Structure 1
């Protein structure tokens, strides 16, 4: 059963239990392979269930992991926020060196800011803000794509966090942007409390 097509990969449900993911673009292959190296190590440290993919087939590449129960919540509550806040506190404290040894790389801030200067600033302004961002830390392991579609809820409880393709070393604020400023006020309060 086809589950969907994200920016990086296509997901299919197999036997009602397994999620198979295939890269949509050549550069995503390494991201999926990196997940197979990083997630077994990282999953043991996190207080929320996360997928632990394995290489199922080399060519063309297919990675497979157990289905994470649940789906996107209609409403994220303060209780959900506290769970995700604790999850982020633990994630952001994992050993950066150990993550790097498994292939997690630091964000190239100069490259990102150059792209923003070329693409975003002409549309919305804010060139001075880019100078401030240059000084932000790159010192924590971050999910880097945390949003409501990646926080799964089952029977009212946070059941997992999915989509780890963008995992990197960067500023913790990258994970907190949606959690504190884009989510419901109750959820954001729960995150802040944790």
Structure 2
């Protein structure tokens, strides 16, 4: 989710979605709208299939890449991921592509109440997932049709601009009290970190508490691959900072492998940006639970004290 344009380019109603699906695939007996984001409107069809309809032209241009990458990853990723067996094409009724896949079991992480032990097990699985995903290096990902990120989160100037804009929106809407001094301290730390670009790989690029599925207290699947592209792995590390207590981070390293401390700490500014973004999303979509968890993520980040080393650009956790 790289913007906050929530207005639909197309009025995607359940009736329109039903018509599109029936014209190209199968009879629809029941259809329920179950979600929306910046890029897609989502429907549960016949209590079995998830169908996602592009909200705008920019998303539509990425749909083919998403479908191709997901097909390639089916035998690589050990967690469950969508398998878009239905790939709808544009028509006069609906000018964008759409996709359908069997609904994955589980509920979003932010809707789950996990114990610390369950959260640790989820982190083990999440680390293994990212290790598998990031094993697809840039050259191979290119052959699958993946491209370099349009919004490059390793460019700190872009991140700072987005963070400032969204913090201002949160404050103007009185969604949450944001500590500007804390934000500027985090920016100062991240601004001194240079992310090397010799390790680019395939990244999910939109990981957060809505896109990790939990089943029976375990991480079972990863959804919403609209933004999948090529970038540095750090763009996915931010999810660890946003969700898992710092006391658990060693578990991640054990299963994923060693990570340069500068790179790891850069993920914190991305996590902060995502938490503020999710505050806006929760507010605008009137999702009280999402808003609550986003604020909690911000507060957890704020409680982590950071200092700048006098000899290097990385931040040290104390």
Bin of the TM-score, shorter chain as denominator length? 0.7 to 0.9
Match of 1:67 among 85, 98, 103: 103
Say which is worse superposed, 123-132 or 43-52, in terms of deviation.
123-132
Distance 1:135 1:190, change over 3 A: closer
Distance 1:107 1:62, change over 3 A: closer
Say which is worse superposed, 66-75 or 99-108, in terms of deviation.
99-108
Matched, 1:184 2:244: yes
Q: Structure 1 residue 24: deviation in Å?
A: 0.9
Unaligned runs of at least 5 residues, structure 1: none
Distance 1:110 1:161 in 2: 21
Distance 1:169 1:148 in 2: 21
Give TM-score scaled by structure 1 length.
Answer: 0.85
Alignment of 1:35-114 (within 5 A): 35-59=66-90, 60=94, 61-72=97-108, 73-75=112-114, 77-107=119-149, 109=152, 113=156
Distance 1:86 1:107, change over 3 A: same
Distance 1:54 1:28, change over 3 A: farther
Unaligned runs of at least 5 residues, structure 2: 1-31, 169-182, 256-318
1:38-68 Cα deviation digits (max 9, x unpaired):
1111121011110021453212322111111
SS at match of 1:32: helix
Match of 1:3 among 34, 50, 58: 34
Distance 1:139 1:17, change over 3 A: same
Distance 2:107 2:222 in 1: 10
Q: CA RMSD in A?
A: 2.7
Give TM-score scaled by structure 2 length.
Answer: 0.54
Q: Structure 1 residue 142: deviation in Å?
A: 1.0
Distance 1:4 1:139 in 2: 32
The number of residues matched between the two structures is 193
More helix by share: 2
SS at match of 1:39: helix
Say which is worse superposed, 122-131 or 6-15, in terms of deviation.
122-131
Distance 1:62 1:141 in 2: 23
- Give the match for residue 151 of structure 1: 212
Matched, 1:173 2:212: no
